[in-house]
Amino acid sequence: MLTAGTGLRADDAAPVPATEALQKRNAALEEIVRKQATVIEGLNQRVTALEKSDAERAQTSRPAEDAAPAAKSGSGFSFGKINISGEGAVALFDSGAKGMFPNAEFRVDEAKLFVEAPVWEDVYFFTELNLTRREDTDLNLRVGEFYLDFENVSKLWDRDRLLNLRIGRLDIPFGEEYSTRDAINNPLISHSLSDFWGVDEGLELYGAAGKFSYVVAIQNGGIPVTQDFTRDKSVAGRISYDPTPRLHFSVSAMRTGELDANLDYLSELWFGNGWFRSIGSPATTRFHANLVEGDLAVRWTGGHLKAFGGAACYGDNDPAQSNARRMYFYSVEAQQQLARKFYAAARFSQLFADKGYPLPGNGNWNDYLFNYAPNGLATGLWRLSLGVGYRFSEHLLLKAEYTVERGRQLTGESRDHEDLFAAEAAFKF
């Protein structure tokens, strides 16, 4: 039997209620899917916000130049809340007859372990353990940085990341070259002639506001790690400005404080491949140095240009004569990617000391730093370093370099036979 006006049999129209039930069920399922999509989208937004917050926290609380290596590498091994990472380098050095490596030495150039762990809320512990460094004459475990980091102290008065505090054994925050001094971060193998760096016990404040950031530290000043022999302290600080992501400026200043010529003997601050030291007569009991430096960095896709320059003033209390003198320094470094993983780099740096000062450079320490009289005072040095590198990844780098170094002593004698060839494999984990 046909139903009028439809052309369908009456028994064919019977399933209509079942079809409507199926449509209702599909509509209910679609509503469930829509709600799930809304929940997932909300979760995605929360995750994105958290990732953005973490990234901003990393940039503001630990500026790149002051970050703990474990934190900025994003690598290493985690044991519960403890993160362990490391860096190292193996190399071949061959210098001229009057250089530091006249016998073409294979060396473990660098071996470091980093340990980082949360302590309580925004308080963290970090330490750097040095198994060896290029400047060491043996393989002995030494403590590098070792500090407690109190992050975001300024949250107590609702100013996010404006003030953070570190206390312990810290990098001296003068200049910026020290932040890329580790082998895995340095595009070359050598460093500039001035090469300011050091690790000293003390207290450091750092923070950021907009495009400005700062760091200031009060530290002991002398090289002994277990005792300070004068009440006067070292003070160092840097103010940075980043008008764009590709352009960076900073100004640094420092005073070593008055150091004991016999007990401190050397400043903690590294300078000229040596240290600041007394050049006064045996009657000298105190010496010091004051420094200022300006830094500039321009970055582009596949390369950068970095430059800095400044002055250092030395003085002491020698009753026999005035030993005050000024020294000037500068450095220009460029790096350019030539292929996807292959790059070339160059650096030219120079030191001036008209009245003469112990400046070892690539020369032998005994001749130009410790037993410098009568020919160990240099009036000037210049260094040109040319290198190439192949970076397999952020964890492995192969590089080679040739460095030409020349200078002159206070006696008029020229400084030569200190050129350096080096090849190195640097890594981190």
In a shared domain, residues 39 and 102 = no
In a shared domain, residues 56 and 148 = no
Distance (Å, whole) CA 362 – CA 381? 10
Residue where a domain stops, chosen among 45, 61, 77: 61
Going through 133-178 in order, the beta strands assigned E by DSSP cover 142-150, 164-171
Output the DSSP codes for 26-76. HHHHHHHHHHHHHHHHHHHHHHHHHHHHHHHHHHHHS-GGG--HHHHH--S
Output the DSSP codes for 124-189. EEEEEEEEE-TT-SS---EEEEEEEEETTGGGGGT-TTS-EEEEEEEE--SSSGGGG-STTT-SSS
Distance (Å, whole) CA 229 – CA 84? 35
In a shared domain, residues 187 and 274 = yes
Task: Flag whether 6 is in a domain.
Answer: no
In a shared domain, residues 71 and 18 = no
Task: Flag whether 302 is in a domain.
Answer: yes
In a shared domain, residues 72 and 41 = no
Alpha carbon separation from 252 to 67, 234, 308, 415 (Å, rounded):
18, 14, 10, 30
In a shared domain, residues 67 and 49 = no
Token pair of 417 as six digits: 């036979």
In a shared domain, residues 66 and 56 = no
Contact in structure between 414 and 395 (CB atoms under 8 Å)? no
Residue where a domain stops, chosen among 61, 76, 96: 61
pLDDT (tens digit, 0 to 9) for every residue of the chain, 429 residues total?
434 333 434 344 444 455 565 565 566 556 655 655 554 555 455 444 444 444 443 333 344 444 444 444 457 788 889 999 999 999 999 999 999 999 999 999 999 999 999 999 999 999 999 999 888 877 788 999 999 999 999 999 999 999 999 999 999 999 999 999 999 999 999 999 999 999 999 999 999 999 999 999 999 999 887 789 999 999 999 999 999 999 999 999 999 999 999 999 999 999 999 999 999 999 999 999 999 999 999 999 999 999 999 999 999 999 999 999 999 999 999 999 999 899 999 999 999 998 999 999 999 888 888 877 666 799 999 999 999 999 999 999 999 999 999 999 998 889 999 999 999 999 999
Distance (Å, whole) CA 261 – CA 371? 15
- Residue 161 gets the label, from left (phi > 0), alpha (psi -120 to 50) or beta, of left
Domain count, the chain: 2
In a shared domain, residues 36 and 89 = no
Distance (Å, whole) CA 398 – CA 1? 90
Paired sense of beta strands 247-255 and 259-260, if any? unpaired
User: Could you give phi then psi for residue 208, rounded to 5 degrees?
Assistant: -150, 150
* Bridge partners, residue 331, by sequence: 308, 349
Task: Flag whether 3 is in a domain.
Answer: no
In a shared domain, residues 77 and 55 = no
Q: Residue 267: its pLDDT value, please?
A: 96
In a shared domain, residues 354 and 396 = yes
Q: How far is CA 231 from the centre of its chain?
A: 29
Distance (Å, whole) CA 149 – CA 167? 7
Contact in structure between 358 and 375 (CB atoms under 8 Å)? no
In a shared domain, residues 26 and 124 = no
Token pair of 120 as six digits: 């309580």
Please indicate, yes or no, whether the overall pTM of this predicted structure exceeds 0.85.
no
Q: Residue 224: its pLDDT value, please?
A: 82
Task: Flag whether 246 is in a domain.
Answer: yes
Long-range contacts, stretch 126-131, CB < 8 angstroms, 24+ apart: 126/68, 126/70, 126/71, 128/69
Contact in structure between 429 and 75 (CB atoms under 8 Å)? yes
Residue where a domain stops, chosen among 20, 38, 61: 61
Contact in structure between 224 and 198 (CB atoms under 8 Å)? no
Q: Residue 307: its pLDDT value, please?
A: 98
Task: Flag whether 1 is in a domain.
Answer: no
Q: Which residues, 6 or more positions from 374, have their beta carbon under 8 angstroms from its beta carbon?
A: 411
At residue 275, what is the residue type? Answer: W
In a shared domain, residues 353 and 220 = yes
Contact in structure between 311 and 294 (CB atoms under 8 Å)? no
Q: Residue 302: its pLDDT value, please?
A: 94
Distance (Å, whole) CA 154 – CA 222? 31
- CATH code, domain with 280: 2.40.160.10
Distance (Å, whole) CA 203 – CA 150? 11
- pLDDT tens across 222-242, in order? 988 778 999 999 999 999 999
Which residue range is the domain that position 169 belongs to? 62-428
Distance (Å, whole) CA 425 – CA 400? 9
Task: Flag whether 4 is in a domain.
Answer: no
Task: Flag whether 289 is in a domain.
Answer: yes
Task: Flag whether 108 is in a domain.
Answer: yes
